[in-house]
A and B are shown apart, each in its own frame.
Chain A
Amino acid sequence: MIGLGILVRIVRHLLGKPLEDSGALPTRYYLHEILKSLDQDNIGQTVKLLKVSKGALVDRSRWELVRQQVLFRCRVLMERHGKRIRSIERRIMELKRHGRLPWRWFQNKPVEKLGHYENALALEKRAQALLEKYESELKNI
């Protein structure tokens, strides 16, 4: 039995990745890969694998549960990014308000800080937009 298990693992390792996009592999293989990607918060990869394996007849209920798990994680991450966006926007507003005070005119630091905050804000917004896209794709699979 141990030998058989190792053999299956070797075959899966060798053929798994090249055949992954064909959708020809067993649903359980995709479920394991999706859960692995979900552990790493790689939502893009999970969406891709869910799309490839959407025709699953066997393990359909498990597939559906995993899809819901990905959707849930997507929402949790979106909420987290939303909180960060609000916090950064608040900081930017405070900095701008403080920057108008005369004794801060000749200080470089707040301007640098403002740049950092604006970059972070742009990144956070991009991440949230990506997650929104994934969420709508996941709903429509």
Chain B
Amino acid sequence: MEERKLSLPGALVGALVGLGVEIAIRELTGFDVIDGILEIIGAGFGLIRIDRRIYESTVRLVKGMDIQPNDDYQQILRKIDELTVDLPELRESFLKLMDAGLRARKV
């Protein structure tokens, strides 16, 4: 295997070029690249984290229902319908979750 060589001067030149480009963009457009990118990444991660948490909670709610071992899909749907008459968004989430589960099982 070919040995990979790391060059310290190369890294320094790369860092300086990056800094130069960032300063040039900031001077020309007034947009702070690094801060902007960090903010976007941070917000993205925050959104993903809370959505994943809500999803986990939805799964836990379905698992926490009093479902008998011999209950079929229709019975579970009826039960969800009864409990979510006035909760349309949650009902939709449950249905999507169950559809995904069924599709995964078929595959």
A contacts, CB < 8 Å to B: 1, 4, 28, 31-32, 35, 38-39, 59, 61-62, 64-66, 68-69, 71-73, 75-76, 79-80, 83, 139
Contacts and interface: CB of A to CB of B under 8 A. Distances in A.
A39 B65 contact: no
Interface in B7-52: 38, 41-42, 46, 50-51
A4 B86 CA distance: 41
Given A72-B61, A72-B87, 9 more contacts: A32-B50, A32-B53, A59-B50, A61-B89, A65-B89, A68-B89, A69-B57, A69-B58, A83-B66
Closest 4 A-B residue pairs measured CB to CB?
Answer: A68-B90, A68-B87, A75-B83, A35-B57
Interface residues of B, number: 22
Nearest to A28: B50
Contacts, number: 58
B84 interface: yes
Contact of B90 (A1, A62, A72): A72
B61 A73 contact: yes
Interface of B: 38, 41-42, 46, 50-51, 53-54, 57-58, 60-61, 64-66, 83-84, 86-87, 89-90, 93
A65 B90 contact: yes
A57 to B, nearest CB: 16
Contacts of A61: 89
Nearest to B83: A75
A35 B65 contact: no
B50 A39 contact: no
A86 to B, nearest CB: 13
Contact of B65 (A64, A71, A76, A83): A76
